[in-house]
Amino acid sequence: MKTAAFLLSLLFIVYCSSFETSTNIQTDHSNPIGYYEGDPLPPKTAFLTFDDGPSDWTSDVLDILKKEDVKATFFVCGAWLPKASTRGNSFRKYKTVLIRMKEEGHTIGNHTLGHQNFAYMSPKRIERQLEENQKLYQNELGEYSGKLIWIRPPFGSPYIKTKSEVVRKRVSSALQGKGLVFMWTKEFDSTDSKEWVKGEWYEKGPRINPDNEKFRKKMDRIYNSLVYKTEGQGVVILFHDTHPTTKEVLPFIIEKLKAEGYTFATAEDYTRWRWGKTSEELSEAAD
């Protein structure tokens, strides 16, 4: 019995070791290369990701990340926020924020130009949304720009709650060669984009009231939706830097994760961990 128990323990150790090193598992080989639900993650590592910005709150998020010495991944849209257009776009309005984001070591990814659902788009429209966002980013940031290799499909569609394999395969085919997809761990959606509350808006001003009871309750919900699910596993957390509730609760979430022994990483770190390559090298190899 002791010998059998020892062999089982040894097999478990070998299994864990193989998981904790870079592997090349894809949940579905028809998907573009990247991270999807069920793919391996380094243990006790939190990947903080922020969608939909930049916005009036992004600089505050960057202040928190700098203070905590944490790197994150931002998936940006050029012309989606209220009053945004290709002429009065978010990349122009928040150019200094984006430059700071890059200079402080964060990863910036492509969240499309107008935040439209891929499931209802033709392959050509999907390609156009990604390429126009990239072009706008380069036009506005110039020498401070770069290729937005990592892609986060708006709404996670069609890789979250997929009902149609036909739709998923059509979108996957359209995304092949366009970059690397980075989804989130399904149970680690912060829910910050749900149930807008009084005192919460895209722009700073009199509408913002962090002391409002519903505002505080939403902060509690965001916090509780994340910190009680961590058990030492690697997690990709979904936030949105377009919500003041997020930037208010973020320090408490980081503090809790650090207390549990978590370290923090970006999508670029994930590429190196899993494939031993930079995102650029991996993307070029996948073309």
DSSP string, 198-260: TT--SS-STT--TTSHHHHHHHHHHHHHHHTS-SS--EEEEEETT-HHHHHHHHHHHHHHHHT
Task: Classify 100 in phi/psi space as left (phi over 0), alpha (psi -120 to 50) or beta.
Answer: alpha
Q: Identify the pLDDT of residue 9.
A: 37
**Residue 5 pLDDT class (50, 70, 90 cuts):** very low
Q: Identify the pLDDT of residue 86.
A: 66
**Residue 198 pLDDT class (50, 70, 90 cuts):** confident
Report the C-alpha gap between 239 and 191 in whole angstroms: 8
Q: Which amino acid is at 230?
A: T
- Judge whether residue 14 has pLDDT over 60: no
- Mean pLDDT estimate for the chain: 87
- Judge whether residue 51 has pLDDT over 60: yes
CB count in 10 Å sphere of residue 254: 21
Report the C-alpha gap between 217 and 224 in whole angstroms: 10
Q: What is the mean pLDDT of residues 39-43?
A: 97
Q: How far apart are the first and last CA of the chain?
A: 52
Question: Which domains does the chain show, CATH number per domain?
Answer: 34-192+209-285 (3.20.20.370)
**CB contact at 8 A, 108 and 140:** no
Within 13 Å of residue 155, how many CA atoms lie on the same side as its CB? 11
**Can you read off the two tokens belonging to residue 15?**
């299994």
For tokens 């997929």, the residue is 162
**Residue 28 pLDDT class (50, 70, 90 cuts):** low
CB count in 10 Å sphere of residue 96: 11
The string of DSSP codes covering the chain is -HHHHHHHHHHHHHHHHHHHS-----S-TTSPSEE-TTS---TTEEEEEEES---TTHHHHHHHHHHHT---EEEE-SS-STT--SSS-HHHHTHHHHHHHHHTT-EEEE--SS---GGGS-HHHHHHHHHHHHHHHHHHHGGG-----EE--GGGTTTSS---HHHHHHHHHHHTTT-EEE---GGGB--TTSS--TT--SS-STT--TTSHHHHHHHHHHHHHHHTS-SS--EEEEEETT-HHHHHHHHHHHHHHHHTT-EEE-HHHHHHHHHSS-HHHHHHHH-
Report the C-alpha gap between 46 and 227 in whole angstroms: 11
- Judge whether residue 173 has pLDDT over 60: yes
- Judge whether residue 10 has pLDDT over 70: no
Q: Identify the pLDDT of residue 209.
A: 80
Q: Identify the pLDDT of residue 99.
A: 98
> Considering the entire predicted model, what is its pTM?
0.88
**Residue 88 pLDDT class (50, 70, 90 cuts):** confident
